[in-house]
Amino acid sequence: MTAVALFAAVFLACVVEAVEATTIVVAVGATRSWRSALTGAAVAVVVLAAAVALVGPAILLLPLAVLRLVVGGLLLVFGLGWLRKAVLRAAGRRALRDEEAAFRRQVEAAESARRESRFGVSDWYAFTVSFKGVLLEGLEVVFIVLTFATNQGRLPVAVVAALAAIVLVVALGAAVRGPLSRVPENALKFVVGIMLTAFGLFWGAEGAGAHWPGDDAALLAIAPAVAAYCLLLVVAFSGRRPGRGRAQSFRVTGGPHVGQGASDASAPQPAASVSPASPASAPAAPPAALAPQRGRLAAFGLFWYDFVVGDDWRVAAGVAVMLALIAVLAGWPGAWLIAVVGALVLIPYGTARAAR
């Protein structure tokens, strides 16, 4: 892959994440305190930069085959997750992300929160919300930068691409001081999902021992093939109706998405009957001192599970099985076909499950 292609891939992916992070920072800063919000964002950027500086060189020390297998598999799981959401949004089966609605939600939450000062920060709420938003979105930027860069040995190119995307989006946010609704975020997510999936297929299969015809030039066929297949899926899912009992509103700024409890959100819920539990049936409560720690550990574990595995563990398991099968049949010249078949199955499978 050339430096230009690497730059474009990282730049587009980082633009998407930077738009979402900027929406949070601008909403909190305009409503609460610009100084506290920008301080939180700056601290998050420092933490992310330190992660790149520490982890990047260490990853480069790993054998290339192992690196491509692990990174390719993770990149493929990420790409499939982005693709199934993009396909459903393009087909009208899931509401598009609305930056104006996201901005309003952040403003409403910021207006209702109480103001307090901690550790020299005048508005702790603005600081923490901005810090968490930039850190969480930035983690995906770090992952994209490291995966693309380490597989090609071009960390500086990837870092420059990420910084260029962040500077561009931040400059737009500073100029507009509002939601970046004119940025074609959903279209960008479709393109980035295609790129992540294509690179994940290529690197994952190569790391497992397969050899693609044409070497790196195979990417010039894989990416367009994934794009064409996803466009066909958009047409196929556009003609399908949601299942019974599901919400059928696909407004861009509307309510819940299909398949995410939309029908339950608006329906009145029956009052739960409460009866005193006997000591034998009631679960023993954890000690008061241990409960907060367990809750934090569980939340930490769930965050990393969601970050790595995504919202459908079956697709992630399918990726692992596909790569394992390629590794077993690595001596077969056509082992790369297993990756092709895997993509043909996993892309519509995950999309169909998400559409339920």
Distance in angstroms (rounded) separating the CA atoms of residues 68 and 104: 41
Using pLDDT thresholds of 50, 70 and 90, give the confidence band for residue 317: very high
State mean pLDDT over 190-219: 86
Mean pLDDT score across all residues of the chain: 74
Name the token pair of 23: 């929406």
Among 12-21, 58-67, 160-169, the least confident range:
58-67
Q: Across 140-144, 168-172, 323-327, which has the greatest mean pLDDT?
A: 323-327
State mean pLDDT over 222-234: 91
Distance in angstroms (rounded) separating the CA atoms of residues 95 and 86: 10
Please check the confidence at residue 159 and state whether its pLDDT lies above 60.
Answer: yes
State mean pLDDT over 317-341: 92
Distance in angstroms (rounded) separating the CA atoms of residues 238 and 92: 6
- Nearest of 168, 348, 180, 186 to residue 252 by alpha carbon: 186
Residue with the larger pLDDT of the pair 108 and 78: 78
pLDDT in tens, 275-302: 444 434 444 444 544 555 566 667 667 7
Neighbours of 57 (CB within 10 A): 11
Residue in the structure block whose two tokens are 């939450």? 109
Please check the confidence at residue 197 and state whether its pLDDT lies above 50.
Answer: yes
Q: What is the pTM of this model?
A: 0.64
Using pLDDT thresholds of 50, 70 and 90, give the confidence band for residue 318: very high
Distance in angstroms (rounded) separating the CA atoms of residues 181 and 102: 10
Beta bridge partners of 121: 118
By the 10 Å C-beta count (0-12 exposed, 13-18 middle, 19+ buried), 178 is classed as middle
State mean pLDDT over 167-180: 71
